[in-house]
């Protein structure tokens, strides 16, 4: 039974690596992230070149972050934040003030738009996990904050891309 669980775990980790899960996550489970390979569509790409640049690179997204009912009962209030994508990392302006470091992020095509996933950590505040769908100039998603004491707070967020 244990061998089946281990095999299943390794299959999941391998799939995540092939899907471009960040190297830091792959390293946590002892796997190496996949590297882009030359393909008939892109014969000049080598294993040392980076994959396609994210469609979010260089964009800024002001959002309103709203706590769910349980978080509101715990005293949480809606707040404004700005997601900024630069150099392969995302920074959340309000979260930086609380000690959350910019983080790498993962995007993938999702219907007519893109899906987004990232996790940020703070020495004192815990960890946040952000998931979103981006369609055109709109972003909508969820954020789960696992506080240092282990409690969980759930939020929804949405906003529009700043266009120049």
Note the pLDDT of residue 12: 38
Listed in sequence order, the residues at least 6 apart from 14 whose beta carbon sits closer than 8 Å to its beta carbon are 31
Note the pLDDT of residue 52: 57
Share of the chain above pLDDT 70, in %: 67
pLDDT in tens, 47-85: 333 345 688 999 999 999 999 999 999 999 999 999 999
- Candidate ranges 24-28, 38-42, 75-79; pick with highest mean pLDDT: 75-79
How many residues can be counted in the chain? 164
The residues pairing with 141 across neighbouring beta strands, listed in sequence order, are 132, 157
Among 2.40.128, 1.10.472, 3.30.1370, 2.60.40, what is the CATH number of 60-160? 2.40.128
Nearest CA to 104 out of 37, 15, 47, 21 is that of 21
Nearest CA to 87 out of 107, 104, 106, 108 is that of 104
SS3 114: strand
Note the pLDDT of residue 54: 81
Residue 120 sits at the vertex; the CA angle it makes with 37 and 110, to the nearest 5 degrees, is 50
Query: Domain ranges in the chain?
Result: 1-49, 60-160
Instruction: Output 12-17 pairs: Cβ under 8 A, ≥24 positions apart.
Output: none
pLDDT in tens, 72-128: 999 999 999 999 999 999 999 999 999 999 999 999 999 999 999 999 999 999 999
């Amino acid at each position: 039974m244990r061998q089946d669980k281990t095999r299943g775990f390794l299959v999941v980790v391998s799939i995540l690596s092939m899907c471009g899960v960040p190297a830091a996550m792959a390293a946590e489970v002892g796997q190496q992230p996949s590297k882009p390979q030359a393909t008939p569509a892109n014969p000049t790409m080598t294993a040392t070149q980076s994959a396609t640049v994210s469609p979010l690179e260089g964009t800024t997204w002001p959002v309103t972050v709203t706590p769910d009912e349980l978080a509101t009962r715990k005293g949480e209030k809606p707040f404004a934040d700005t997601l900024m994508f630069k150099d392969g990392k995302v920074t959340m302006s309000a979260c930086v003030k609380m000690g959350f470091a910019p983080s790498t992020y993962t995007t993938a095509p999702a219907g007519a738009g893109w899906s987004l996933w990232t996790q940020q950590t703070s020495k004192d505040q815990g960890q946040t996990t952000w998931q979103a769908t981006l369609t055109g100039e709109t972003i909508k998603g969820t954020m789960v904050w696992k506080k240092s004491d282990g409690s969980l707070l759930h939020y929804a967020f949405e906003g529009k891309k700043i266009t120049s």
